[in-house]
Amino acid sequence: MPDYSLEQGALAQGATRVAGVDEVGRGPLAGPVTAAAVVLDPDSIPEGLNDSKKLSAKRREAVFVEIMKKAEVSIAHASVEEIDEINILRASHLAMERAVAGLPHAPDYLLIDGNMIPRGLTLRSQAVVKGDAQSLSIAAASIVAKITRDRIMWDLAQQFPGYGWETNAGYPSKSHKAALQNLGVTPHHRRSFRPVHNILYQG
C-alpha cells in the first residue's frame, strides 16, 4: 500500500510543496497520453488512495472526487500527432511536464512514477519505480490521469463506434485490432504504432 513516507522525506529535506506525477496511456493504439500532477494536503489526504489499477472502477471514481476536492491537481495531455512526431516516451514526458507547469502553485519537489525524470523538469525530483504502489501523491496522480483519459476515450467512442474504446480505452484488445482491419484507421489512431502503421501501409 502506498504511504506518505517519500513525501515526508522530501519535506524533511526542506521541500514545502511535493507533487506526485504519473501518466497513463503509453500502450494504447489510439487517443492521447494523459498525465496528472497532484499536491496532497498532508492534513486532509483522501481515504482509499491506492494504485489506480488496484481499485474497482466504482471505488476509483469515488476517490477521484475526493482528490479533486481536497488536493491541488493539474491534468495535461500530449496529442496523437505529438506522439507520432516525437515518440510515445517523449510525448508522455511532455504531458508530465505540462501537468507540473499547470499546477496553481509551483511545487518544489517532484515524485515521478517510473525510472526516468523528464528532461524538461528541472525541479528537485525523484523517480520512483512502481511509484503508484509506494507514494500516496503518485497514487492520486495515477487515479486522476486514468479517470480523465478513460472519459476522453468514452467520448471518442461515441464519435467512432465499433472500436470498443468505451471499454478498452484504446488499448490493443483483440476486438480493437479486428475493428482496425474492418473499419479502418481513425484520426485518433497513432500512426507510428505498428498495428496501425501496418494497416495504413500494407501492400
The predicted structure's pLDDT at residue 83: 98
What is the distance between the alpha carbons of residues 174 and 81, in angstroms, rounded to a whole number? 24
What does the pLDDT look like over 88-136, one tens digit per residue? Answer: 999 999 999 999 999 999 999 999 999 999 999 999 999 999 999 999 9
Longest dimension (CA), the chain: 61
- 85 known member of a binding site: no
Which domains does the chain carry? 5-200 (3.30.420.10)
Q: Output the CA torsion sign for 81, 86, 88, 89.
A: negative
pTM as predicted: 0.96
- 113 known member of a binding site: yes
Share of the chain above pLDDT 90, in %: 94
- Average pLDDT, stretch 8-15? 96
- 3 known member of a binding site: no
The predicted structure's pLDDT at residue 202: 75
- Average pLDDT, stretch 21-32? 98
- Average pLDDT, stretch 187-199? 95
User: Which residue blocks in the chain are alpha helix, DSSP H?
Assistant: 5-12, 57-70, 80-86, 88-101, 136-159, 165-168, 174-183, 194-200
Query: Is residue 75 a contact partner of residue 99, using CB atoms and an 8 Å limit?
Result: yes
